[in-house]
Structure 1
């Protein structure tokens, strides 16, 4: 039960990971699609879970989780995530979230987090959030299934929170969308992931929105 409680702790939106400053590309998407309805937003969240989190973030997380304390292996995964993320705003957001996540865990006494934080400072790692989560959560005591569930829940709840702050949906509408994401996350977590699984992501609408967001004069979120 302790590992389950630790997973709940890590999925808690109050954990100081720095994610409050990032909309995961949603601010640009909502600006691009004026008057987005809750049903359309629910479809967008579904697409992000299917075509970004499940096939990219989850794979990076699992590969890092399996690397354990091997900083060289984690750094290689980190570079692959960097090279596979097309737009600068998404790369920077991922790295900043990862650095904040490491800083919080290092201050809580997690030795691997402190080592990864120092590796980022030396330029040996970049600090992408999914990669850092995989490494640190392996040291926190989560198993692979709990790490994936925590990651998926955090991704979905982060999207919902950002949309609420942007005024795109109401709180109860957000809870309906989040509730409906849970079986989808569970289904992906049940699928095995090969050791050499490739990172894949295809969300052209969100990529275009992120590129436009970088040039916006007024922004609530950093990405």
Structure 2
């Protein structure tokens, strides 16, 4: 049955105007564009599919699910430290921390009880505050069930990637809508697949990882990642 309250929460938290700082992160789009890997809309579609299939679905999604299911904040922190250990790139770790803390900040200001209670953990340990873990808490605070939380996590990644491509001038607004449309079935198919209980978070996106890692050496940058 269609759940209007959940749908409205998805619209609110998935809106690009939601002030969680997502506009500061391109997750490799900027570097790939600079290196000539984002020549057209088809290349962007492929990049989004890779991001979803080989990083989000196998890394962020299982971490989010573990954090969402955690029964205590200490257990949430354990998942957060796992995210730290499973992210070898210093730039991606920093980006995940910064994005997570930005989301946590607004969730705390909105009074989310889990977010408010977890903030001292993040303040006390520099390893904590990864984006998928904070998404789990913030989306639980928003009243979203696990299925909706996963959908929102994946979709905000897609919209962030497309928005970055638009601001870099790689595509226009019409192509952006086409890219969003192309990503929808990819994300939907991934969400149809159940995650194994014992799935260990992992990712394999070498081009994206290299593009993000090279970021600090670039003379001009618009994005943190």
2:32 aligned partner = 29
1:174 aligned partner = 176
1:197 is the counterpart of 2:199? yes
1:154 aligned partner = 156
2:49 aligned partner = 46
The SS at the match of 2:214 is helix
Shift of 1:34: 5.9
Alpha-carbon contact 2:104-2:134 (below 8 Å) kept: yes
Determine the C-alpha separation between the residues in 2 that align with 1:211 and 1:33.
16
Structure 2 stretches lacking a partner, 5+ long: none
TM-score normalised by structure 1 residue count: 0.94
Determine the C-alpha separation between the residues in 1 that align with 2:78 and 2:65.
14
Alpha-carbon contact 1:75-1:125 (below 8 Å) kept: no
Residue 11 of structure 2: which of 5, 8, 13 is its match? Answer: 8
Structure 1 stretches lacking a partner, 5+ long: none
- Any runs of at least 4 consecutive aligned residues in structure 1 with deviations exceeding 6 A, and if so which? none
1:140 is the counterpart of 2:142? yes
Alpha-carbon contact 2:84-2:127 (below 8 Å) kept: no
The SS at the match of 2:223 is coil
Q: How many residues align?
A: 222
Determine the C-alpha separation between the residues in 2 that align with 1:45 and 1:184.
9
Determine the C-alpha separation between the residues in 1 that align with 2:217 and 2:116.
35
TM-score normalised by structure 2 residue count: 0.94
1:80 is the counterpart of 2:86? no
Alpha-carbon contact 1:25-1:90 (below 8 Å) kept: no
Cα RMSD, aligned residues only: 1.5
Determine the C-alpha separation between the residues in 2 that align with 1:95 and 1:161.
20
Determine the C-alpha separation between the residues in 1 that align with 2:160 and 2:120.
27
The SS at the match of 2:52 is helix
